[in-house]
Amino acid sequence: MSEGPLVSTQWLAEHLDDPSVRAVDCRWYLRPFDTRNGDDEYAKAHIPGAVHARWDTDLADPDRPDLWMLAPPDRFADAMASRGIGDDTFVVTYDDLHVTVAARLWWALRVYGHRSVAVLNGGINKWLTEGRPTDDEVPHYPRAQFTPRYDPSLYATRGDVMAALGTPTRLVDGRMAGAREADGGAIPGSITAPGIEFVAADGTWPRPDEARRRLTAAGACTPEPTIAYCRGGVGACGTALAYAIAGYDDVAVYDGSWTEWITDPDAPRTVDAAPQH
């Protein structure tokens, strides 16, 4: 139903009444930079028919509350099924580009084998700018059957990253420059390509050729296996989305990312400055 990892606002508007399509509002805000609450924003107004899902609660592993890592298969499947998302549902994720949480759900669905998913290009911001409808009704859909089929090629653990050090595997740091500087280090050998920096002022992602050009300029567009990481596992999903737009849809995301990496005092790190753009 979609070419590539994105759908347009026009496409979604034309499919709002299609029972096989489900929009998911993923809005979430990083405090203290933004004090809004995603639940409240959804309750006030959302794309008609959209359900809401939070990456840090609904879709997170309750046994790892310090890291907000991806929910295990049964919990994730229940979150999807209870929202009427089944094996045959085409999912459209959206946010308002505060952070790339729509890309997080796009990645998570693919980790569990659900490839019928795309991100709304421009998010709800573009939708509103175009004068398209919203409502405050919370839809209730019949429970669906969602079968998780774990794809380990898209999910990287700390052990995977450790094993990748010194090999041709490309490590890509998805943190913005300010976050990397604040964190005071990086995983050795990684280059910088924050997914959020691929987004234009109007909230849209670049065309494939432009995404490839920018990845190449960052030294990130190489044929080697690639693992993206960030501070907490969201920004790296934006980086993986940028790769997918460019035509490389096999980038793995290190779920624990820098937050987990630094819990191991023996995990190597470098304090070299982030490349200048």
Burial 211-225 (b: 16+ CB within 10 A, else e): bbebbeebebbeeeb
Report the distance separating Cα 200 and Cα 10, nearest Å: 18
Give yes or no for a contact between 76 and 91, defined as CB atoms under 8 angstroms apart. Answer: no
Report the distance separating Cα 180 and Cα 191, nearest Å: 11
Burial 133-165 (b: 16+ CB within 10 A, else e): eeeeeeeebeebebebeeeeebbbbbeebeebe
Tell me if residue 230 is catalytic.
yes
Report the distance separating Cα 228 and Cα 242, nearest Å: 11
CA 12, distance to chain mean position in Å, is 19
Report the distance separating Cα 238 and Cα 184, nearest Å: 22
Report the distance separating Cα 93 and Cα 271, nearest Å: 35
Write down the residue that tokens 């990312």 correspond to: 257
Catalytic: which of 26, 221, 230, 237?
230
Which positions are annotated as active-site residues?
Answer: 230
